[in-house]
Amino acid sequence: MKRLISVGLVLAIIIGLGVVLNAIGQGGQLPGVRPQTTNPNASTLVMTPEQGVWLLIWTVFVTLGPLVTFAAFLTFLMWWGNRQVMRARTEAKQPLEFSLNPAKPRTLGYVLVRSPRLVIGLVIFVLIGSAVFLALLGAFTPR
């Protein structure tokens, strides 16, 4: 049922765009819109072929650039996460001890000393969380 609704929505969008493009192709402008000038450099409704090409280039650049970058970033995250899962599955099962002794492996202290980014991230998270909590309590509002 969900696939049928999705296919119907895509078909409705394609048909709607076809109707609009057909109306534009016949009259050269959107139906119901009256241009104020025929000069393409002064009108927001008419453009020269060069302006059309630049609009297409920038539209593709602005929409596809971030989309491709985000897709590559997500692909990297999934690959890295899968690699870490496979590494954890092949290692021997050893529980993590909640000791702050950094000399003993498989303890909380060892993990915190080996990854300072984790400590910095936790400190920033606590600072932002406490600031938001205090703001919600109204500690920063003048009395």
Q: Are residues 68 and 106 in the same domain?
A: no
Look over the chain and give the mean of its residue pLDDT values, rounded to a whole number. Answer: 84
By three-state DSSP, how is residue 47 classified? coil
135 pLDDT higher than 70: yes
Structural domains counted in the chain: 2
Q: Is residue 6 part of a domain?
A: no
- For the ranges 52-61, 82-91, 123-132, the maximum mean pLDDT occurs at 123-132
**What distance in Å separates the CA atoms of residue 25 and residue 68, rounded to the nearest whole number?**
32
126, part of any domain: yes
Q: Is residue 33 part of a domain?
A: no
Query: Are 68 and 110 members of one domain?
Result: no
Residue 31: the pLDDT is 63
pLDDT value of residue 27: 59
Three-point CA angle 24, 27, 33, nearest 5°: 75
**Residue 29's closest CA among 15, 44, 16, 46?**
46
Task: Scan for tokens 């002064």, then name that residue.
Answer: 42
* 101 domain-assigned: yes
Q: Are residues 139 and 102 in the same domain?
A: yes
Q: Residue 115's domain spans which residues? A: 97-143
pLDDT exceeding 70 applies to what percent of the chain? 92
Q: Please tell me whether the overall predicted TM-score, pTM, comes out greater than 0.95 for this model.
A: no
- Residue at 104 is within a domain: yes
Q: Does pLDDT of 93 surpass 90?
A: no
